Amino acid sequence: MNAQKIVIDKPGSYDALSLTDFDCPPPSADEVAIKVHAAGVNYADCVIRMGLYKSANELHGFPITPGFEVAGEIIAVGKNVDNFCIGDRVLGVTLFGGYCSQINLIASQVFPIPENLNYAEAAGTPTVYLTAWFALHYLANIKADEKVLVHSGAGGVGLAALQLAKQAGAHPVAVVGAEHKIQTAKQYGAYAVIDKSNEDLWKSAESIATEGFQAILDPNGYSTLQASYEHLAPLGRLVIYGFHSMLPKSSTYSKGRPNYLKLARDWLRTPRFNPLEMTADNKSVMAFNLSFVSSRVELMQTAMTEILNGLKHGQLKPLPVQTYPLKEAAVAQQNLETARTIGKLILTN
């Protein structure tokens, strides 16, 4: 069936994203075909475009269609699939390929959309909530009454993490980079917000958690990693899931292309954690890339079931979304890279 998708033939700037027609084959025996109404945009997609996303290079290569999540309507069902029907509203977790108007997915990667979510909200759910869930529950193993510092607290993963931490009975503290993000972070569960554009981040953090934080989620890279580690409490866990401060912002001269001299300099500035010192400090450092754990289907299903139940029963909220037509994927990525957006950016068909 004729469909459209965004293709990146080779790494580059925003013009590397091109809208292309393609013929989508019928689903295989274990797949469903989804007419995509919405697809999530994540910072990882921008890193794929730059040619710096390791799992994309190792697991797929170029040309590549970015995108880790879709929401839409089932239009065909493979012969071995008995838990979905044509017409079902579903969201799907993809390993690349989500920027499209139609996609075939293994049924184990597909989930019913709660009735209280629209397609855009559903498409904005899997990647950020799975990242936050994996960081908080699988790695940091947070407990009630623990203080959790969440960097980029008004971004997609940040807002998901604030809610999941609060749901677990912990006390999440959001770090944001602009005053207009404070209220959103509070609405999504932060009991305290640090606006690093107007106050000293670490002095404020020390006043909130005088003995340190039991867990810190840090996607920034060299700019905050060392200080994050230093502000852990004994038995504290630092979870790393990105290196955003190493990458270009669209508002700079880079125009979405990586500056390799800066990357090399920032790599040299990235802290190295010594296991002997970590043992003496009684602190842990953990890191992950969600796409490299995509083969853990049972783990993904457990997490998604918990997340969707929370959304269905109002314990969790869908993230605020801003939508763009599929053909404007480049605009969406450029806006995401400014670091001024809140919540999720979504491509629609």
% of the chain exceeding 90 in pLDDT = 85
CA separation for the pair 115, 295 (Å, rounded): 28
Separation of first and last alpha carbons in the chain: 16
- At 38-64, the pLDDT tens digits run 999 999 999 999 999 988 988 899 999
**Amino acid, single-letter form, for residue 120:** A
101-124 pLDDT tens trace: 999 999 999 999 999 999 999 999
Rounded to 10 degrees, what is the CA torsion of 213, 231, 206, 268?
-140
Q: What mean pLDDT do residues 227-244 have?
A: 96
- Superfamily holding 2-124+319-348: Medium-chain alcohol dehydrogenases, catalytic domain (3.90.180.10)
Please report the pLDDT score of residue 304 as a whole number.
95
Q: What is the pTM of this model?
A: 0.94
pLDDT at 211 over 80: yes
Q: What is the CA radius of gyration of the chain?
A: 20
- CATH topology for 127-291 is Rossmann fold (3.40.50)
CA distances for 34 relative to 8, 173, 266, 323, 349, angstroms: 22, 38, 41, 19, 12
Residue type, position 66, single letter: P
Query: What is the domain partition of the chain in residue ranges?
Result: 2-124+319-348, 127-291
Q: Confidence band (pLDDT; 50, 70, 90) for 87?
A: very high
Instruction: Label residue 327 left, alpha or beta by phi (over 0 means left) and psi (-120 to 50 means alpha).
Output: alpha
